[in-house]
Structure 1
Amino acid sequence: MAERVCIIGGGVIGLASAYALVRAGHEVTVIDARDSLGSETSFANGGQLSYRYVAPLADAGVPLQALGWLLRGDSPLTLRPRLDPRQWRWMASFLGACRGSVNKRNAAHLLRLASLSQATLQQWREDDRLDGFDWRRNGKLVTFRSAGTFELARSKVTDFLQQQVLSAAECACLEPALVGDGFVGGIYTPNEEVADCHAFCQRLAARLEASGRCSFLLGRKVTGLRHGEGAVQAIDLGDEMMPVDQLVIAAGHRSAELALPGVALALYPLKGYSLSVPIGAQHQAPNVSITDYDRKIVYARIGEQLRVAAMVDIVGFDARLEPKRLALIKRQALETFPHGGDYAQAVEWAGMRPATPTGVPLIGASAYRNLWLNLGHGALGFTLACGSGQLLAELIGQQAPSIDMQGLAPRAA
């Protein structure tokens, strides 16, 4: 049965949800506080569609490692404690998830969702001829500077058809642009992909508008939800009230502002940064996506630009650019890819990645019979968006989900 669905959030998660719902025959309205779609966390993220590297940040040994990072001037992590109970509750839950057994279980949930997401995007590309967002299957090389971390990563490779363990010389042979020294080896996954997330959002929006089944309300901030008798009855848009039949919250880290009694939204923004570096004919940018594991920096060639993304800053809700953090990223990128692009013309960006303490998103039904959640994807929003949208459409349409929902379904407050 076709439903009328309202989605709060016009980033990649909200738009992928809308696209999956429209494909299934539903009517959709997308509401976003910004005047343009995909203009916040989806705008200039890392661009890597990294379907097999989805392990959560929370893991055994991470708290001790994080303490070491905080003492370094070039740390990939910044923690700025604030007088905010949300930050302390999130941190306490994060520390509780920093166990090897918990990480392994949550990684399995994410891998299951990532596999569905890759298959869903492929289906959309093939069946709907969805294109125009610089998609490529270019492979991903994770490089290591520490022999210890390389040995640990190598010991975890079990499928040698999907992943290849390479020496430092073999890494340089695979990607000649990788001239930065200090690497001891790498792990290459040929089937990983790359694309422009913002362009993907624009293509989805164009297809949705052309479908005749989707409308957009932009520049409209949802200020509250009205509920009663176990359901959401309407949303407040400033001085206007809008009735809803089915409602999806996919508003990134701002989703927590819309929490209702009985709905647990343990979200906190992990601030990240990127540089979009123009590539000219004289430059030597990598064709393979690169993750510098020890520095926690990712590199992806997206069309005619090199996207360099890094950092996890737990600093509250301030999305302003931090010149020192961006300068560090640029310096390290120049060391690794000195001829990768015109760094002097790089476009700087910061985004707030909405993360749960476990790193696993919340997808599905809430305590209210017509309220659905699709949020908390952290740094994996683009990677997991299509699969998350597909699952949500199946659940709203009362169909059996494509994958086991264990670990993904929202928990009661």
Structure 2
Amino acid sequence: MTLVSGWGRFPVVDSELLRPRSFEAVGEAVVTGSVARGNGRAYGDAAIGAARTIAMTGFDRVRTFDPVTGRIRLEAGVLLSDLIDTFGPRGFLPFVVPGTRFISVGGAIAADVHGKNHHCEGGFGRYVDSILLRTGQGETIEASREQNSDAFFATVGGMGLTGVILEATMRLRPVETGWIRERVISASDLDAAMRALDAGDSATYSVAWIDCAARGSELGRSLIYLGEHARADELADGAGAFPAGKNPGLAVPIDLPSMTLNRYSIRAFNELYYRMGARRAGGSHVVSLYPYFFPLDSIADWNRIYGRRGFLQHQCVIPELGARAVLGEILDRVARRGDASFLAVLKKLGQGDGILSFPLPGYTLALDFPVKGDILNFLDEIDRLVVAAGGRLYLAKDARQSRVTFEAGYPALRRFNAIRKSLDPAGTIRSKLSQRLFDEV
């Protein structure tokens, strides 16, 4: 047995960790209590098998690529970083990327990850044409919108519970460059931030960093980053069409002491970050795609900042109607608590595509908290605000929500469970997350 955790390093549990080297070996590894795992960037317990975890990063080959249409067939263990570094210089990028490029294609499909463009272009699954799936009952099927469509839409956003994704066919976006034309807007409070995001609906990319330590009249003050893919004629003289990809230049070498993140250090960092960002507001800048989409990827093992006990990310989505009041209440409680993340993010979302896809039309707020004190009770209180507003939590970031919260937020759960049972009648595919939220007890 091996101690396994998600990126948040909570919980840490025992699981038999297997690294098969062939699809046949994957099939042999699928026994009761197993689930697939990509690059381990799900924050909680979604990619940890109830008994056995099947690591898929060894399956990292591209099968076919059409340089005219950007259509690609690839194995599920290919990382988005490999796609970007290989095909970006050829003029193609993934349509959707989350906040890290170090996730696998299989994981991106299973979580139906969203990016800064969900409000106008949808999630990762929208650009997947078909999936090769090894089900819990031993079949290998091709699923698409036309063929085995129930399996397809249950797998997109289904957190790996319909089977092991082996391969996928998807579409890449044609681009002229690997640069982003960015515009920064400074918002003095939450109302101004939400107005700026609403006004930015026509932008391809939009996201707000929120100062979650600010209170009173400055509650929710933010920096909003709008972005478009830069054309070749917008680049400075001498700039290459595609920036060089960089491995993380810094690393967190040890687990920092729990006292490192406190109300004083977070408040000081946020004050500095806000002032520096506000100086850049108003103009348009061309920046590399790497810092724009993946700001934390420049720091290796940044999850160690939160200490050896790990951290929890709470990411919710609140429907548009009434979102201002609920978001304001959450941010006020967080600010009064004083130990929230220095990286709090607010975005707008559209409708998700998978049966259990997280997004719905509204606003999503993501906050990180170190695991200490009464944090679990505090997050239960926040959950109740989310449920009362008709919202839900993101399964790919979750490590602790209750079944009551989960079932209230996902009204299509009954349909998903029926499809899951048809693909896996013996209940072979089980993760720590499914034990906590899905499986019969």
TM-score range, shorter chain: under 0.3
Q: TM-score, normalised by structure 2?
A: 0.24
Q: TM-score, normalised by structure 1?
A: 0.25
